[in-house]
């Protein structure tokens, strides 16, 4: 395995050096900007939940917030290690989550190099690195980038295990487990790994060939998970991923009326947001890049259909072997068409029933597609990278399906789809450039121009001030409490409870939902709150009076 790594590094030395320097500069810049500017305001409440979980891991006892036990534990656990070393600061989780982006960029390059030339792999890596949706959510303490980083590497090592050295399985499965515990949605990588395995021509032969090391890698993955499960069981913490899956499943399966009309679920939310994810507010850049990608996809589809027609004309009277049966190739093509229809069906019906069924339909259809394609192109001469192409499509589409079915939509969820989207985009642009009508110079110039546009877009975004005045304001609120109260002897409720729980390192009752003044007053009394920190307009509360106001925040004290 080490010999293979050495050959790979030697062969691609200049490209790897460029990518590593680029990744280090970009990641370092993101970490520096986010750790030196107050960005964790209105849009980043979840980060404070992870900080509270990290405090618990580090030994700080904080009551309430039982739902924190359901959060993915890896990043809070890593953060707690540095908390115990004395680095008790928000910047700790920013740095830890940010470092993962360096490895995400490097991993994206490695996956692209499985198929593409250095030129196209570098273009695809720059596209991934400079997606504004990634830059918006990198190095801010959220879990999305760390999880997808581990997913990228788990899938990469699994593919290398299948293609070069089976010892890579011993890296793939532990990384898949860590990706899962970084964010539970990372479990989808297991399905894509299975899909790649099933993409090979002889499944039975491959099962015999790889089973020993796959089992070995799986055992190592199980061993990797033991510390997490031990923590859950010794602290009587329920398995959060089971609870989350059950909740999401029920929410997606109850979004339709009895007549079957979907309510409140925009299936095309992430498709419509592509321009924004590429170029943010700079729509022109997003439109240019997306237009090139769409042209490439059209070219790719046209080429795919043309090759299928050619193969059909050559082999239409022949029969394919399915198990012990010989089946006419017309039936094979019908099955191929059916698989494509099923893939579309799995998306268009997402949300009408549990996402589990939608995912099952999709992956069944993907396996059927690969199986029929292998029968059509028996020697893999026309589609030599079929398995890799479908696997990366599945990585994109599987996450798209899951998050589209889920009622809760958030732009940051696209970061999970980004690796698959970038692979498809690189494939599309590469197909466009392989057109014989495009001269050799243009085949070099186009990726370079697109890369420069993407880098300019990322620089423009990173130099935009994203500071949130609410962060400074909440720090002023904390100073007021420290100067005017004995914080250990009072009960506090707040609209942004997790934020103040982090600052005070004690439970602050979290006021969630909408209440009338009377209901809110009753809630505060039931929680025996001495103070209430409100975000928003003032209220007339029967038992509480306003004593201090800031720009957006008001402090109430019990009468």
Pairing of strands 531-535, 492-494: parallel
Alpha carbons within 13 angstroms on the beta-carbon side of residue 325 total 6
Helix/strand/coil (H, E, C) string of 377-394? CCCCCCCCCHHHHHHHHH
- CB-CB neighbours of 463 under 10 Å: 9
- CA–centroid distance for 438 within its chain: 35
Residues of the chain with CATH 3.40.190: 469-558
The tokens for 365 are 């259809």
72 contact partners, CB below 8 Å, separation of at least 6 = 143, 147, 181, 182, 183, 184, 240, 241
Rounded Cα distance between 174 and 217, Å, is 7
> Residue 353: beta bridge partners?
350
Against a cut of 0.75, is the pTM above it?
Answer: yes
Fold of 469-558: D-Maltodextrin-Binding Protein; domain 2 (3.40.190)
| Residue 364 and residue 342 in contact, taking contact as beta carbons nearer than 8 Å | yes
User: How does pLDDT run along the chain (559 residues), one tens digit per residue?
Assistant: 656 655 655 567 788 899 999 999 999 999 999 999 998 888 888 999 999 999 989 988 887 777 787 889 999 999 999 999 999 999 999 999 999 999 999 999 999 999 999 999 999 999 999 999 999 999 999 999 999 999 999 999 999 999 999 999 999 999 999 999 999 999 999 999 999 999 988 888 888 999 999 999 999 999 999 998 888 888 777 666 666 655 665 555 544 443 344 446 788 999 999 999 998 777 888 999 999 999 999 999 998 888 888 877 776 655 555 544 556 677 888 899 999 999 999 999 887 877 888 999 999 999 999 989 888 876 667 778 889 999 999 999 999 999 998 888 899 999 999 999 999 999 999 999 987 777 778 888 999 999 999 999 999 999 988 899 999 999 999 999 999 989 989 999 999 999 999 999 999 999 988 888 999 999 999 999 999 999 988 889 999 999 999 999 999 999 8
């Amino acid at each position: 395995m080490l010999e293979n790594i050495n050959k790979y590094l030697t062969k691609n030395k200049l490209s790897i050096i460029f990518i590593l320097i680029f990744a280090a500069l970009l990641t370092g810049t993101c970490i520096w900007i986010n750790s030196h500017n107050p960005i964790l305001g209105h849009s980043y409440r979840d980060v404070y939940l992870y900080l509270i979980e990290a405090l618990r891991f580090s030994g700080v006892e904080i009551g309430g917030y039982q739902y924190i036990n359901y959060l993915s534990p890896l990043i809070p656990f890593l953060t707690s290690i540095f908390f115990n070393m004395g680095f008790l600061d928000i910047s700790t989780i920013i740095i830890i989550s940010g470092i993962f982006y360096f490895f995400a960029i490097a991993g994206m390059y490695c996956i692209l190099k499985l198929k593409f030339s250095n030129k196209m792999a570098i273009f695809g890596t720059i596209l991934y690195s400079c997606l504004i949706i990634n830059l918006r959510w990198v190095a801010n303490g959220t879990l999305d980038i760390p999880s997808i980083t581990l997913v990228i590497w788990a899938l990469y090592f699994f593919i290398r295990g299948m293609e070069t050295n089976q010892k890579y399985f011993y890296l793939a499965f532990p990384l898949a487990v860590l990706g899962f515990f970084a964010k539970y949605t990372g479990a989808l990588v297991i399905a894509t790994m299975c899909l790649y395995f099933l993409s090979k021509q002889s499944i039975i032969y491959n099962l015999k060939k790889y089973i020993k090391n796959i089992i070995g890698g799986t055992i190592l993955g199980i061993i990797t998970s033991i510390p997490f499960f031990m923590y859950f069981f010794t602290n009587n913490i329920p398995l959060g991923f089971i609870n989350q899956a059950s909740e999401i499943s029920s929410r997606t399966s109850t979004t339709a009326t009895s007549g079957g009309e979907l309510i409140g679920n925009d299936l095309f939310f992430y498709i419509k947001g592509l321009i924004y994810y590429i170029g943010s507010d700079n729509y022109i850049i997003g439109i240019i890049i997306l237009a090139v990608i769409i042209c490439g996809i059209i070219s790719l589809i046209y080429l795919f259909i043309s090759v299928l027609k050619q193969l059909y004309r050559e082999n239409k009277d022949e029969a394919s072997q399915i198990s012990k049966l010989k089946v006419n190739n017309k039936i094979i093509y019908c099955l191929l068409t059916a698989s494509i229809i099923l893939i579309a069906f799995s998306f268009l019906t997402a949300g009408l029933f549990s996402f589990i069924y939608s995912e099952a339909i999709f992956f069944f259809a993907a396996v059927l597609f690969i199986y029929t394609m292998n029968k059509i192109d028996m020697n893999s001469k026309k589609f030599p990278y079929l398995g890799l192409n479908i696997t990366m499509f599945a990585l994109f589409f599987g996450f798209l399906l899951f998050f589209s079915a889920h009622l809760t939509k958030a732009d940051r969820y696209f970061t999970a789809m980004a690796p698959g989207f970038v692979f498809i985009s690189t494939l599309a642009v590469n197909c466009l450039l392989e057109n014989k009508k495009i001269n050799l110079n243009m085949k070099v110039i186009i990726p370079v121009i697109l890369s420069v546009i993407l880098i300019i877009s990322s620089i423009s975004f990173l130099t935009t001030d994203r500071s949130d005045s609410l962060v400074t304001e909440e720090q002023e609120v904390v100073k007021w409490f420290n100067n005017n109260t004995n914080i250990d002897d009072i009960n506090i409720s707040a609209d942004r409870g997790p934020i103040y729980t982090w600052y005070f390192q004690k439970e602050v009752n979290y006021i969630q939902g909408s209440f009338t003044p009377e209901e809110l007053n009753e809630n505060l009394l039931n929680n025996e709150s001495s103070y209430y920190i409100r975000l928003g307009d003032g209220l007339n509360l029967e038992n509480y009076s306003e004593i201090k106001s800031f720009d957006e925040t008001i402090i109430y004290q019990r009468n």
